[in-house]
Amino acid sequence: MTIELRPRASQRAKISALGTYVPPRILNNADLSKMVDTSDEWIMQRLGIRERHLVEPGVATSDMAVEAARRCLARRGIPASEVEVVIVATVTPDMLFPATACLVQDKIGAHGAWGFDLSAACSGFLYALQVGAKLVESGVHSKVLVIGADTMSSIIDYTDRATCVIFGDGAGAVLIEPAEQGEIGLIDFHHEIDGSGAAALNMPAGGSLHPASPETVAGRMHYVHQDGQAVYKYAVRKMVETTTKVLHANNISAGQLGCFIPHQANRRIILSTAERLGLPLDRVIINIDRFGNTTAATIPLAMQTALDEHRLQRESLVLLASVGAGFTVGACLLRWEF
């Protein structure tokens, strides 16, 4: 018996809406200086962070993700029932299972949608963005909700001055849809992982290797552990390498970019990358001073900053980039279409 399969039309994907959320509570450098041996000058010099937002007790990653998702859908003017897929990039899920995407799907009322969580640390949003784009480009789905959300305060040791000064909480969501005639949307990406760097940035316990026990709790193994120098050196090198590869592959010069939106881990990393790419600072989005490192949420939050400051225009070429635990590395080139 011959079975004739109808070919699916290939199509381009675009970001059609954006929504973000940060909790109202702020922890500034003066507050931190009362908790650990640090100062505003020390933090600003090394990281460029002045304050970060933290959730109240009992608020989880899914709660922030829901707020960002609702704002995103409201800006697009569609009900959650039209969403077909929910992808949540996070390293701080509400629980190991079910997936936070399941909780978000239920809370926003995206009935009939399927979804999953994606764990790639600070590169999580970029990785999820590409997965969502490919689902749309394949013709299988037309509305994919991609969320980057992390409650980093839930896994930070506020007696460790090397890590507690860095991180904040937040969420951002984008809707991925087919590009319309004349639109370009997402153009290209380059992703890498290097597992040899796993020991440089991780949370040692809580998984199958070191399940929760009195010993892991006493050893403070359920918090983020970081070799700051190793992460810094790798991030500076790979941020430049990865962005350069994407630009060269598409015959795009840095001067043609309307906006560079990097992961917000460290102001010095961002400035070093911009300098090596030859980008003027008025095209580089930096908001780490206000939010700290929110892991999977940094890039959508920076997109919102770019829009608020009128530095992201329709049809602008935009370059996104990230380096995170794993190590994970990502870069994405797109044209802004709304």
CA dihedral 207, 210, 216, 220 (to 10 degrees): -60
**Helix axes 298-308 and 124-137, enclosed angle (nearest 10):** 80
Catalytic entry in 29, 266, 293, 332: 293
* 254, two tokens: 């840095």
Catalytic entry in 53, 263, 266, 287: 263
Spatial CA neighbour of 331 closest among 129, 174, 172, 171: 129
Catalytic entry in 53, 72, 102, 122: 122
Residues paired with 150 in a beta bridge? 170
Neighbour-count burial of 84, counting CB atoms closer than 10 A to its CB (0-12 exposed, 13-18 middle, 19+ buried): middle
* 3, two tokens: 């079975």
Spatial CA neighbour of 180 closest among 2, 338, 3, 1: 338
How many angstroms separate the Cα of 10 from the Cα of each of 7, 86, 146, 183?
9, 21, 21, 14
Distance CA 300, CA 83 (A): 19
Where does residue 211 fall: left (phi above 0), alpha (psi -120 to 50 degrees), or beta otherwise?
Answer: beta
Spatial CA neighbour of 122 closest among 65, 55, 170: 170
Q: Which residues, other chains included, contact 66 with Cβ-Cβ below 8 Å and sequence gap of 6+?
A: 104, 107, 108
Does the active-site annotation cover 122?
Answer: yes
Q: Is 140 helix (H, G, I), strand (E, B) or coil?
A: coil
Helices marked H in 184-297 — which ranges? Answer: 214-218, 228-249, 267-277, 288-291
- Mode of pairing for the β-strands spanning 201-202 and 85-89: unpaired
Does the active-site annotation cover 293?
Answer: yes
Return the active site residues. 122, 263, 293
